[in-house]
Amino acid sequence: MKPIILILCTGNSCRSHLAEGILRRALGDGFTVASAGSKPAGYVHPLAIKVMAEIGIDISAHHSKHLNEFLSQDIETVITVCGNADQACPLFPGQVNRHHWGFDDPAHATGTEEQQLEVFRRVRDEIRDVFESYASGRKDQEAMAKSMLPLAAQAYSDGRQDENKTRP
């Protein structure tokens, strides 16, 4: 079973979807990545979809979800990307890890569409830097764990053999 990583934000309309798309691409198929909100907006912001398309990630099929949809799932890691979600975050069954990385909410950007896009791009790039680094670390952990299994099995086997030698 693949570990589930849940990214939470208040509205689940911008930051959490940016992070979900970036992390899903960075991690590949070894993980399930999802996002949700404590007070879902009911839509994914069109400018979030647009700035993700600029970097080759399609989030147009994403939809806004409430975090309660995930309470019965075995969530391995919860990552909050805004302060309100961090404060409202419940403990999920099976949760092993919890991280909080706060980012500005691009949905509050004002001005022309181009000025708003600049804010969305900045936040997207900040999220990309953090989540790609996180993904790299997770991949390193997975690779190390896989390489350690044969060593652990051998050490166990060696210990069992030593144990058998000392018995009368």
Give the span between the Cα atoms of 164 and 166, in whole angstroms. 6
Q: Which of 82, 107, 109, 127 is catalytic?
A: 82
In tens, the pLDDT along 33-92 reads: 999 999 999 999 999 999 999 999 999 999 999 999 998 899 999 999 987 766 666 777
Architecture of domain 4-166: 3-Layer(aba) Sandwich (3.40)
Active site residue 14: no
In tens, the pLDDT along 153-165 reads: 566 566 555 555 5
Query: Which one is predicted more confidently, 32 or 160?
Result: 32
Q: Which of 4, 6, 9, 79 is catalytic?
A: 9
Active site residue 9: yes
Q: Which of 89, 117, 119, 135 is catalytic?
A: 89
Give the span between the Cα atoms of 120 and 105, in whole angstroms. 9
